[in-house]
Amino acid sequence: MNILDKIVFDKKREVEIKKEMFPIDFLMNSPLFIRKTFSLVESVKNGSGIIAEFKRRSPSKQLINNKSSVIDVVKGYEKAGVSGISILGDTKYFGGSLEDLIQARNSVDLPILRKEFIIDVYQIYEAKAYGADAILLIAVILTKDEIFTFSKQAKELGLDVLLEIHNKEELLKSNLTNVDMVGVNNRNLKTFEVSLDTSKSLSKLIPVDKVKISESGISSIEAINELKQYGFQGFLIGENFMRTENPGEEAIEFLSKL
């Protein structure tokens, strides 16, 4: 069992417990459930295109940053002029939580992406209830029917959908009907090696009506300018900011060069 299989296995158990403790009817009574969402798609297309991520650790890099507070970081990201903020919510493997999502929502007026391993419709209602504006769907862990069902439910709740792929096969098996953005993860899930060539090679296969997002391994303005030539409008950046002492300030300096 590889690390992704372990994450999905644990996530299924976690979701089943949550569904018993906090059923969907409970989530729908959240004050945030009725709020009008911000459009991450429009913000990416009309802004800097940077989606800045808050995460404390990862299975590949272990500890990244356990000192910076989510409130300080997201406020810094907003000041920097990012198009959106990604909040990594998994607790066991990434050190995140739904509390991070709530704190971020209460701190900024920007679109927030709930970056999570979504394997159940329940998590989409949960995202809405905790203030997210968009969700991530990971093609490699979902079937074609699940991608369609989950993305359709997200759109019905007013959430944008970012579908993450790693290769041609994942893209071709995916039902993109309700998908707004296609994100290419430049990290090989088997070797954890990162290459921007992944985004470049897959760019021409992504339908022109989908916003292209490049994820992982983006650490320079040069890389962004290069990827723009391949039609990418969005760039998800996490570790490049989070591994510094002050991620918000790092983002401000980075975006000032765009």
Tokens read off for 25: 């009817």
Q: Which CATH number fits domain 3-255: 1.10.10.10, 3.40.50.300, 3.20.20.70, 4.10.520.10?
A: 3.20.20.70
19 is catalytic: no
245 is catalytic: no
DSSP state of 28: T
Per-residue pLDDT of the chain (258 residues; tens, 9 = 90+): 888 899 999 999 999 999 999 999 999 999 999 999 999 999 999 999 999 999 999 887 789 999 999 999 999 999 999 999 999 999 999 999 999 999 999 999 999 999 999 999 999 999 999 999 999 999 999 999 999 999 999 999 999 999 999 999 999 999 999 999 999 999 887 777 899 999 999 999 999 999 999 999 999 999 999 999 999 999 999 899 999 999 999 999 999 999
pTM of the complete model beyond 0.85: yes
69 is catalytic: no
219 is catalytic: no
164 is catalytic: yes
Residue that has been written with the tokens 């041609």 in this structure: 168
- Active-site position among 53, 78, 126, 239: 53
Burial grade of 5 (CB within 10 A; 0-12, 13-18, 19 or more): exposed
**What are the domain boundaries of the chain?**
3-255
